[in-house]
Structure 1
Amino acid sequence: MTSQSPPPAFQNPPGYTFPSHRFNRVLRDSTKEPLVLVACGSFSPVTYLHLRMFEMARDHVRHNTNYEVVGGYLSPVSDQYKKAGLLAAQHRLTMCNLAAEQTSNWLMVDPWEAVQDYQRTAVVLDHFEHEVNTRLGGVTTVEGEQRPVRIMLLAGSDLIATMSEPGVWSENDLDHILGRYGTMIIERAGADMTQAIDSLARWRNNIVLIHQLIQNDVSSTKVRLFIRRGLSVRYLLPGPVVDYIETNGLYVDEGTPTSTPSGTLGAEKDKKSVDKDSREAGPSTSKSSS
Structure 2
Amino acid sequence: MSSEVTSNGAPAPVAVPATYTFPHDKLKRRQEVTGRTPLILVACGSFSPITYLHLRMFEMAGDYIRFNTDFEVCAGYLSPVSDAYKKVGLAPGHHRVEMCSRAIQQSSWLMVDPFETVNQNENGEPEYVPTAKVLRHFDHEINTVLGGIEGTDGVRRKARIALLAGADLVMSMGEPGLWSPTDLDVILGSYGAFIVERSGTDVDEALSTLRQYENNIWVISQVIQNDISSTKVRLFLKKDLSVRYLIPDPVVDYIEEHGLYQENQTKEPKEKGKESASGSSNAMPLKG
The TM-score range, normalised by the shorter chain, is 0.7 to 0.9
1:228–1:57: structure 2 CA closer, same or farther, 3 Å change rule? same
Equivalent position of 2:111 in the other structure = 108
Task: Quote the residue 2:180 is aligned against.
Answer: 170
Counterpart-to-counterpart distance in 2, 1:12 and 1:258: 32
Partners in 1 of 2:130 and 2:287 — Cα distance? 21
Residue 193 of structure 1 pairs with residue 206 of structure 2: no
5 Å matches for 1:120-269?
Answer: 120-253=130-263
Unaligned runs of at least 5 residues, structure 2:
6-10, 120-126, 266-284
- Determine if the alignment matches structure 1 residue 75 to structure 2 residue 79: yes
Task: For 1:107, give the aligned amino acid.
Answer: L
**Alpha-carbon distance, 1:257 to partner:** 8.2
| Aligned with 1:41 (options 38, 41, 45) | 45
Q: Secondary structure at the match of 1:36?
A: strand
The SS at the match of 1:113 is helix
Residue from 10, 32, 37 that aligns with 2:14: 10
Deviations 1:48-75 (A, max 9, x none): 0000000000000000000000010000
2:80, 2:97 within 8 Å by CA — same for their partners in 1?
Answer: yes
1:85-131 Cα deviation digits (max 9, x unpaired)? 42100110110000011x31210000011111211000000000000
- What's the offset of the Cα at 1:160? 1.0
Alignment correspondent of 1:59:
63
Match of 1:269 in 2: none
* 1:151 to 1:257, Cα distance in 2 relative to 1, 3 A: farther
Conservation of the 8 A alpha-carbon contact between 1:86 and 1:258: no
Is residue 2:100 matched to residue 1:92? no
**CA distance 1:88–1:4, shift in 2 (3 Å):** closer
CA distance in 1, matches of 2:65, 2:175: 28
Cα displacement string for residues 215-255 of structure 1 (whole angstroms, at most 9, x for unaligned residues) = 00000000000011010000000110001111112123288
In structure 2, relative to structure 1, the CA distance for the partners of 1:241 and 1:175 (3 Å cut) is same
Alignment-mate amino acid for residue 109 of structure 2: W
Q: Secondary structure at the match of 2:60?
A: helix
1:27 partner amino acid: Q
RCO comparison, higher one (Cα < 8 Å, 6+): 1
Contact 1:87–1:257 (CA<8 Å) still a contact in 2?
no
Aligned residue number for residue 29 of structure 2: 25
Mapped partners of 2:234, 2:144: distance in 1: 39
C-alpha distance in 1, partners of 2:137/2:287?
Answer: 27
SS of equivalent residue, structure 1 residue 69 = strand
Partner of 1:271: none
Q: Report the TM-score when normalising by structure 1.
A: 0.85
Checking the alignment, whether the CA contact within 8 Å between 1:86 and 1:257 is kept in structure 2 is no
Give the 3 Å change call, closer, same or farther, for CA 186–258 of structure 1 in structure 2.
farther
Determine the C-alpha separation between the residues in 2 that align with 1:252 and 1:11: 34
Higher helix share: 1
Give the number of the structure whose alpha-carbon radius of gyration is greater: 2
Q: Using the aligned pairs only, state the percent identity.
A: 55
Which piece of structure 1 moves more, 244-253 or 119-128? 244-253
Letter in 2 for 1:28: E
Conserved 8 A contact 2:89-2:261: no
TM-score by length of 2: 0.85
* Counterpart residue identity of residue 28, structure 2: N
The code of the aligned residue for 1:214 comes to I
RMSD, matched Cα = 1.7
